[in-house]
Amino acid sequence: MNSDETTGHLRGPLALLGAGAMGSAILEAVLAGGQIAAADVRITTLDPAAADRWRERGVHVADDNAAAVAGARLVIVAVKPADVPTVLDSICAALPTDAAAESAQERCLVVSIAAGVRLATLAQHLPPGTPAVRVMPNTPALIGEGMSALSPGEHAGERDVAVATALLAACGQVVVVPEKQQDAVTAISGSGPAYVFAVAEALIDAGVLLGLPRPTAAQLATQTLAGAALMLRESGQHPSLLREQVTSPGGTTAAGLREFDRHALKSTIIAAAEAAHERSRQLGG
Ligand SMILES: NC(=O)C1=CN([C@@H]2O[C@H](COP(=O)(O)OP(=O)(O)OC[C@H]3O[C@@H](n4cnc5c(N)ncnc54)[C@H](O)[C@@H]3O)[C@@H](O)[C@H]2O)C=CC1
Ligand SMILES: O=C(O)[C@@H]1CCC=N1
């Protein structure tokens, strides 16, 4: 396909190394958005079932990472953080060197979504001058409601940032952040969906404890979380104001919220984010 970043089309062919939970969510969003055709995508995975699923969708499953990236214009690295250096070493020879790429359009952009893995590490394991972008996405990308933060590397120009932004815009909202903020981003929006799902589980279990049938409890909890999240986003109001609107004097909500304070919910969430932040730093080595 032709590259046309100005209209939001992506450079093809696209190689996705590691079509697991997050890599597949991004690929689903990009295919659904029509930015790229399945025939323009090559993937790798160690999971035969995932390989079969993607093959059935018309995506090429490459024999190895080097084969996937040969001739690719955009490479998404979506393996576990510890596997990134080995995977990059294995594709180095298949990537164009700066000198070999005749024009900016012929360069291959490498997008890493690996938690903690720094741009400096990517650069150490890529041919000199390779444009690279570090991104922290999240799984709601699957339904186009993701949040991605990107940090361009030294050799990533405006055109590369435009390509990465077009890729991630198919997944939801995109912000550009300095790399030093990426571990904090990981702790909030990267891991954040899991915190929300844990709250959903707790609310559903609470409903069951209080005598509701599980499907009813699940519907109530799910729509309440979705409705509250949309209200927060669309009203632009501070969450404390929205919480006050629910809290009638002497009513049920105040009684419930007092238990949040008693059990230090806010401190628990902050401690969870701090732990995730620290883990992201550790993964960076
Ligand atoms: N799951 C999430 O919510 C998020 C994950 N990430 C990052 O995405 C990356 C992948 O995470 P998940 O998708 O959760 O893991 P996952 O385990 O679901 O996916 C990893 C994939 O890599 C494949 N793989 C492993 N070694 C490989 C190799 N040498 N060559 C090709 N493929 C290989 C596996 O078969 C699997 O398909 C990690 O670096 C993680 O930090 C980033 C943001 C959010
Ligand atoms: O748990 C993890 O390490 C990845 C990164 C952010 C969300 N999932």
**Mean pLDDT split into 10-residue runs, the chain, 285 residues:** 49 92 97 94 97 97 97 96 97 83 74 98 96 98 97 95 96 98 98 98 98 98 98 97 98 98 97 98 91
- Comparing CA positions, the residue from 206, 203, 207, 171 lying closest to residue 189 is 171
Longest dimension (CA), the chain: 72
pLDDT reported for residue 9:
59
At 43 the three-state DSSP class reads strand
- Cα radius of gyration rounded to whole Å, the chain: 21
Q: Evaluate whether 171 touches 26 at the Cβ level (below 8 Å).
A: yes
Check pocket membership of 142 for ligand 1, CB cut-off 6 A: no
Q: Evaluate whether 69 touches 44 at the Cβ level (below 8 Å).
A: no
Check pocket membership of 87 for ligand 1, CB cut-off 6 A: yes
Tell me the CA–centroid distance for residue 25 and ligand 2, in Å: 14
pLDDT reported for residue 82:
97
Of the three residues 178, 208, 226, the one that is the final residue of a domain is 178
Task: Copy the structure tokens of residue 168.
Answer: 């991630």
Check pocket membership of 115 for ligand 2, CB cut-off 6 A: yes
Domain range for 263 is 192-283
Nearest CA to ligand 2 atom 7: 191
Of the listed ligands, the closest to the CA of 20 is 1
What secondary structure letter does DSSP report for 63?
S
Which H or E run includes 152? strand 146-152
Nearest CA to ligand 2 atom 5: 115
Check pocket membership of 136 for ligand 1, CB cut-off 6 A: yes
Q: Evaluate whether 29 touches 142 at the Cβ level (below 8 Å).
A: yes
Angle (CA) 21-25-26 rounded to 5° is: 125
Check pocket membership of 186 for ligand 2, CB cut-off 6 A: yes
Task: Specify whether 157 is located in the same domain as 214.
Answer: no
pLDDT reported for residue 103:
63
Of the three residues 178, 205, 221, the one that is the final residue of a domain is 178
20 annotated as a binding-site residue: yes
pLDDT reported for residue 105:
59
Is this complex's ipTM strictly greater than 0.85?
A: yes
CB atoms within 10 A of CB 46: 11
180 annotated as a binding-site residue: no
Of the three residues 131, 152, 178, the one that is the final residue of a domain is 178
Task: Specify whether 141 is located in the same domain as 15.
Answer: yes
Task: Copy the structure tokens of residue 87.
Answer: 């995977």
Residue 221's identity, in one-letter code, is A
